[in-house]
Amino acid sequence: MADDGIATKAPESDAQQTPAEQAEQSVFPGDSKAQEGPSMGEHCTADRPTPTGEIPTGEMSKLGGIDVYIAKPSDYPHSPSKFLLLLTGGTGVKSTNNQLQADKYASEGYLVVMPDQFEGDPAPNSVDMTKIEEQPSWLEQVKLKTAEGIKSFLIDMWLARHTPEKVLPLLHKVIEGAKEEFADAVASGGGIYGVGYCFGAKYILILAGEHPDTVAFGQGDPKNEEQGAIKKEPLIRAGAVAHGTMVTKEDLEAVKSPVYIACVENDPLFPEDEVLTPGRRAMEKNGVEHEIQTFAGVPHGFAVLGDYDDPKIKQSQVQAFGQMLGWIQAH
């Protein structure tokens, strides 16, 4: 464990939403729901302040017909680079912090592609807590509760628009495009590597798993093998994820590629008893190389690049990046 302290609650970890019923359904037959209770928190829909003086150096482009942010090492293509797929939380591909995070991996020698998983429809913006007094008046409390209710409804609707059936085909288009356009980087690393945060963590775990072809491509319930469904091997060589949301135990049970998972202690968005523990046992039983690290004293979403006043969170953010980077470098 990264720390034995007790996880503290921060505004970023407050669960404001309950997922829509449709978004709770998995494409895997017989799956549990992602988890009971909250699936998206404030951190998933709003960025922290951008670190002072940092400006993204990559560029927006298209790959497989999908909008992507591409960050390249400064010496690419003159020096070999490995290919890295980076999947974000709900703030999406246009987020400055997400782009800076991609740049950080690029500076370590990876050709990074960060796709627009949401087709120009990132999660609704958060309630601006800075506009509410520390001890709000009755009227301000009413306004805040109303805003929170509207936000919750909008998040439910947004989740219903971005299910595995919609997201996975986009990712497959990007992966197929990458194999063609960046064949040198894919070959240099012996395959595709993946890192994912919050919403994106679930999809890195899916891409690291073995699934029937209809499921792997987001086409709903698979047929049986006699009807033509074939189990597809993982699409990524190794993956590293941080504080996933809407992850099911079935996502973890299907994992075959080596994975590193950074968790937040006592995280209702990635519950230990319902998801993490059975998933860990399945990976152990299946002989899947994995490492699970639990960070205490930090909010869910801490590993996403952004500025915090708390030095404990800053330190953990740096540590998580180092661990995720080290994992994909070692594989």
Nearest to 151 by CA among 280, 42, 36: 42
Residue 15 has pLDDT above 60, yes or no: no
Q: Where are the domains of the chain?
A: 11-329
Q: Is the peptide bond before 311 cis (omega within 30 degrees of 0)?
A: no
DSSP assignment of 149-164, as one string? Answer: HHHHHHHHHHHHHS-H
CA pair distance 184, 204, nearest whole angstrom? 22
Reported pTM: 0.80
**For the segment 111-134, what is each residue's pLDDT rounded down to a tens digit?**
999 999 999 888 886 433 334 344
Most confident stretch, 78-82, 215-219, 225-229, 289-293: 289-293
**Can you name the residues that pair with 290 across neighbouring β-strands?**
259
For strands 59-63 and 259-264, give the pairing.
unpaired
For tokens 């990007």, the residue is 174
Give residue 125's pLDDT.
Answer: 67
User: Phi and psi of 302, rounded to 5°?
Assistant: -60, -30
Cα atoms in the 13 Å half-sphere on the side-chain side of 227: 7
pLDDT at 209: 96
What are the tokens at 5?
């302290």
8 Å CB contact between 233 and 210: yes
Instruction: Render pLDDT for 264-309 as a digit per residue (tens, 0 to 9).
Output: 999 998 999 999 999 999 999 999 999 999 999 999 999 999 999 9
Q: What angle do CA 18, 19, 23 make, to 5 degrees?
A: 170
Is the dihedral angle over the CA atoms 138, 139, 142, 147 positive or is it negative? negative
**Paired sense of beta strands 192-197 and 110-115, if any:** unpaired
Residue-wise pLDDT for 158-189, tens only, equals: 778 888 999 999 999 999 999 999 999 999 99
Q: What are phi and psi of 195, to 5 degrees?
A: -130, 145
Domain 11-329 architecture? 3-Layer(aba) Sandwich (3.40)
**216: left (phi > 0), else alpha (psi -120 to 50), else beta?**
alpha
